[in-house]
């Protein structure tokens, strides 16, 4: 099989490519050039491209750099900025997987005659008795990335290989070291690739939109503080608000960007027993009934019942009240270790 190995310059994708070679596949390495600006904490720096190229040389495979910068700006960066402008909390890594790594890259690979695309994600693709495929959790629970890959449907899963999904991170590093790969000890990439550790979100967004100061009010409407930029505040936030100490902890329970107002309250004001999802992606058709709902990349799954709605919507009802998930974040639905589907938290229609 001819396989395109997406080489990010990290140890996981390096070992993924090496394993494919060992299995007898014809492997071609490709690094996606997505972000052309400053980057010091993600996977798009010049050094990462160089590491990917040198790993390809070590493995004896061809290496190409494909520039998808325009699509990345349009599909990931601009929506990220617009979400903050509207007071929504985006997840750019999921959108990158949705639009770039498992859409644009797959289509480009197909156009050049490649049978499948492989990445170094810690997740697995499993085939069910009925012939359908499901994404499943990786063997290393601490590194599992199935949450950020829930957007893969049957068409994508049929052409995706995840060679390190059945390995722990320690096993990946040990295998890389045994092969002498230059990435064996390289630290994992962290955070969003276009947000630098020096400038942060505020520095990045401040150059693209106007960040406005806002007032903080309590549940009675009384002013209790202020924030430098209301666009940077998210529901559930506790730290960084500058509120006086003493008393019960207070959390952000509402962000009204047009009114430049942040409302805080006790944790009980955040608890809800349901969440409405939009833009739902089902692995193999809508699922109704018992699921485990995961509300963040490394959050604990919560027992729940899902009810598919009209179109691409769904309602998730938790067995026990759960802290509200910010609008724009994703909730992923599991049946056992397998992803049944997932979607984005929709705006609240009215106070509950």
Residues involved in catalysis:
96, 193
How many C-beta neighbours within 10 Å does residue 25 have? Answer: 19
Take residue 58 and report the two structure tokens written for it.
Answer: 């070590």
Alpha-carbon span 96 to 128, nearest angstrom: 27
Closest CA to 323 of 331, 334, 312: 331
Give SS3 for 142: helix
Q: Count of residues for the chain?
A: 352
DSSP letter at 102 equals I
- Name the DSSP letter for residue 245: -
Residues 6+ apart with CB under 8 A from 285: none
Q: Please name the residues in contact with 7: beta carbons below 8 A apart, sequence gap of 6 or more.
A: 13, 14, 17, 29, 30, 31, 52, 55, 56, 63
Give one DSSP letter per residue of 97-158, joined into a string.
Answer: IIIIIIIIHHHHHHHTT-SEEE---SEEEEE-TTS-EEEEE-S-GGG--GGGGTT--HHHHT
d(C-alpha 348, C-alpha 185), whole Å:
45
**347 alpha-carbon distance from chain centroid:** 19
* Terminal-residue alpha carbon distance, the chain: 54
Secondary structure of residue 219 in the 3-state scheme: coil
Q: Which of 76, 57, 303 is nearest to 180 (CA)?
A: 57
What whole-number distance in Å separates Cα of residue 305 and Cα of residue 320?
Answer: 11
Token reading at 287: 């699922």
């Amino acid at each position: 099989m001819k396989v395109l190995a997406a080489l990010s310059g990290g140890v996981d994708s390096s070992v993924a490519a090496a394993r494919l070679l060992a299995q007898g596949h014809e492997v071609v390495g490709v690094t996606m050039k997505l972000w052309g600006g400053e980057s010091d904490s993600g996977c798009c720096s010049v050094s990462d491209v160089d590491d990917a190229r040198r790993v390809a040389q070590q493995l004896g495979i061809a290496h190409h750099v494909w520039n998808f910068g325009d699509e990345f700006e349009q599909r990931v960066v601009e929506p990220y900025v617009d979400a903050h402008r509207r007071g929504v909390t985006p997840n750019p890594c999921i959108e990158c997987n949705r639009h770039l790594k498992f859409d644009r890259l797959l289509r480009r690979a197909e156009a050049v005659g490649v049978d499948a695309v492989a990445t170094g994600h810690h997740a697995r693709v499993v085939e069910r008795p009925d012939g359908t495929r499901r994404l499943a959790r990786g063997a290393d629970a601490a590194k599992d990335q199935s949450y950020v890959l829930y957007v893969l449907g049957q068409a994508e899963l049929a052409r995706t290989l995840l060679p390190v999904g059945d390995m722990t991170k320690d096993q990946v590093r040990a295998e890389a070291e045994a092969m002498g790969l230059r990435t064996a000890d390289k630290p994992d990439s962290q955070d969003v690739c276009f947000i630098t550790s020096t400038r942060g979100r505020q520095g990045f967004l401040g150059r693209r939109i106007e960040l406005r100061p806002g007032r903080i009010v309590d549940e009675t409407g009384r002013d209790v503080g202020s924030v430098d930029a209301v666009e940077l505040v998210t529901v559930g936030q506790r730290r960084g608000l500058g509120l006086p100490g003493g008393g019960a902890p207070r959390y952000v329970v509402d962000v009204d960007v047009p009114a430049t107002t942040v409302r805080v309250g006790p944790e009980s004001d955040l608890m809800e027993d349901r969440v409405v999802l939009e833009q739902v992606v089902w692995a193999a058709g809508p699922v109704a009934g018992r699921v485990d709902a995961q509300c963040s990349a490394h959050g604990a799954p919560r027992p729940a019942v899902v009810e598919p709605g009209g179109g691409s919507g769904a309602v998730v009802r938790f067995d026990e009240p759960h802290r509200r998930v910010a609008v724009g974040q994703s909730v992923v639905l599991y049946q056992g270790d397998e992803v049944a589907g997932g979607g984005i938290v929709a705006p609240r229609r009215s106070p509950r």
